[in-house]
Amino acid sequence: MKYCKTCVQPDTRPGIVIGEDGVCNACTNHKDRPNVNWGQRKLQFEEMLERFRGKGGDGFDCVIPVSGGKDSIYQVHKMKYEYGMNPLCVTYRTPLRTALGQKNLDALIAMNVMHIDISFPVSVEKKLLEKTLIEEGSAGIPTHMGMFAAALKTAMRHSIGLVIWGENSAQEYGGDMDDVLNPAMTRHWCLKYGCMREREPMSYVGGNISAEEMKPFDLPADSELEEAKVRAVFLGHYFAWDSSENLEIAKRYGFTSRTNGSVMGLYDYADLDCHLIPLHHFTKWYKFGIGRTFDNASVEIRNGRMSREEAIEKIRNHRDIAWKENVEALCDFIGWNTEKFRSCMRSFANKSLWKQSGDELVMENFITGSKVVDSNLYE
Ligand SMILES: [Zn+2]
């Protein structure tokens, strides 16, 4: 495992490529950012809005996929209050939404928008979550598929031509230059950067999951979106994305952070909507040898708000563990016990990072200089 010498990302993280200069592609892309002509991008955005204003079905101008997080509140603020667009807000209702997630979603609804909360059949959610844990070692695949499918299909169903996503994570966490520069959010992007591990939704059909049950989770083909004249774009392509600025705007509308520190990584205002999202980040320990703090600290370093030494210190004192509350919520939902969850996670341990030592898995040569022991990653 090689770490970027500027940030703290290792080359085991998908999308991260470390160049001969020892710097990763995400850091290099970020350095190029000041060269983006944001004024021109803003104009392009405004021209695009005029093409869609007043054209959507049922009087809507655009669809905004929202979770109730700070970024979705910012998206609604931007579209409705800065640009006077009439959005239809769509939420994929995760079966394990937290109380704080609901509270923040209520704050978004209070922004005086039309909002739909789409639930998928619970029995399918359970089967699919279990299958994706076993086959892909991921706790976040059904929620990501559900979110993409719900938003895009709602736009098609209501003939609303514009869908406004938030940031392009290929930009923040590493990706091919073509994907970083593309304003459009496509099926290709979802599969590659949307936590779907480049696996087609319908490939989960089989065993106890039928094609009919899986269909709602499938994403429209790019050709279907084109035919329906639906275009999904990243707001982050047109405006420099700044999470702390988004947070300040979201707070004005009643967004609440966690009061007892972050659940994962450095931010007490992120990853808080759903019990599954912290566990989704947790699986990175086994696969890539990193916790959420690596992602957050790398962003902080690139924005000049943290030194690499401080980041390593944060990693040393990390909170990126599997909290009992979240593991129990997942286990209660799919009928597992916590030992089964741990053994499932361990089965995805990257053998080049983790070595068996008695009953333990141990990762030596960690960025902090000390080793990581698997059992210490659980509360
Ligand atoms: Zn880097």
pTM (2 decimals)?
Answer: 0.94
Q: Are 340 and 331 in contact (CB under 8 A)?
A: yes
Task: State CA 64 to chain mean position distance.
Answer: 15
**Is residue 306 domain-resident?**
yes
Range in 30-39, 76-85, 218-227, 334-343 with the lowest mean pLDDT: 30-39
Each residue's pLDDT tens digit, 233-286 = 999 999 988 888 999 999 999 999 999 899 999 999 999 999 999 999 999 999
**Is residue 27 domain-resident?**
no
DSSP 21-63: TS-BHHHHHHHTGGGS-HHHHHHHHHHHHHHHTTTSGGG--EE
- CATH classification of the domain holding 95: 3.40.50.620
CA of 359 to the centre of ligand 1 (A): 34
CA of 197 to the centre of ligand 1 (A): 22
Q: Note the pLDDT of residue 32.
A: 75
**Is residue 3 domain-resident?**
no
Share of the chain above pLDDT 70, in %: 99
The reply to whether 90 and 204 lie within a common domain is yes
Q: Note the pLDDT of residue 114.
A: 98
**Is residue 363 domain-resident?**
yes
CA of 377 to the centre of ligand 1 (A): 25
The reply to whether 231 and 269 lie within a common domain is no
Q: Note the pLDDT of residue 207.
A: 97
**Is residue 13 domain-resident?**
no
Q: Note the pLDDT of residue 179.
A: 86
pLDDT category at 219 given cuts 50, 70, 90 is very high
Nearest to 79 by CA among 160, 197, 190, 181: 160
Q: Note the pLDDT of residue 54.
A: 96
Range in 4-8, 28-32, 269-273 with the lowest mean pLDDT: 28-32
**Is the pLDDT at 360 greater than 80, yes or no?**
yes
The reply to whether 107 and 236 lie within a common domain is yes
CA of 299 to the centre of ligand 1 (A): 9
CA of 19 to the centre of ligand 1 (A): 10
Q: Is 113 exposed, middle or buried (0-12, 13-18, 19+ CB in 10 A)?
A: middle
**Is residue 31 domain-resident?**
no
CA of 138 to the centre of ligand 1 (A): 24
Q: Note the pLDDT of residue 288.
A: 96
The reply to whether 212 and 277 lie within a common domain is no
The reply to whether 49 and 150 lie within a common domain is yes
Among 199, 214, 243, the domain-final residue is: 243
Number of structural domains the chain divides into:
2
Each residue's pLDDT tens digit, 270-279 = 999 999 999 9
**Is the pLDDT at 155 greater than 90, yes or no?**
yes
Rounded mean pLDDT, 89-101: 97
The reply to whether 73 and 102 lie within a common domain is yes
The reply to whether 54 and 179 lie within a common domain is yes
pLDDT category at 180 given cuts 50, 70, 90 is confident
Residues with CB under 5 A from ligand 1 (ion): 4, 6-7, 24, 27
**Is the pLDDT at 171 greater than 80, yes or no?**
no
**Is the pLDDT at 186 greater than 90, yes or no?**
yes
Q: How far is CA 51 from CA 69, 160, 161, 171, in A?
A: 28, 12, 10, 26
The reply to whether 181 and 301 lie within a common domain is no
Expressed as residue numbers, the domain containing 285 is 262-377
Q: Is 47 exposed, middle or buried (0-12, 13-18, 19+ CB in 10 A)?
A: exposed
CA of 298 to the centre of ligand 1 (A): 7
Beta bridge partners of 274: 97
Q: Note the pLDDT of residue 4.
A: 97
Among 195, 211, 243, the domain-final residue is: 243
Q: Note the pLDDT of residue 175.
A: 75
Q: Note the pLDDT of residue 248.
A: 97
Q: Note the pLDDT of residue 302.
A: 92
**Is residue 204 domain-resident?**
yes
The reply to whether 77 and 170 lie within a common domain is yes
Rounded to the nearest integer, the mean pLDDT of the chain is 95
pLDDT category at 217 given cuts 50, 70, 90 is very high
Q: Note the pLDDT of residue 338.
A: 95
The reply to whether 301 and 181 lie within a common domain is no
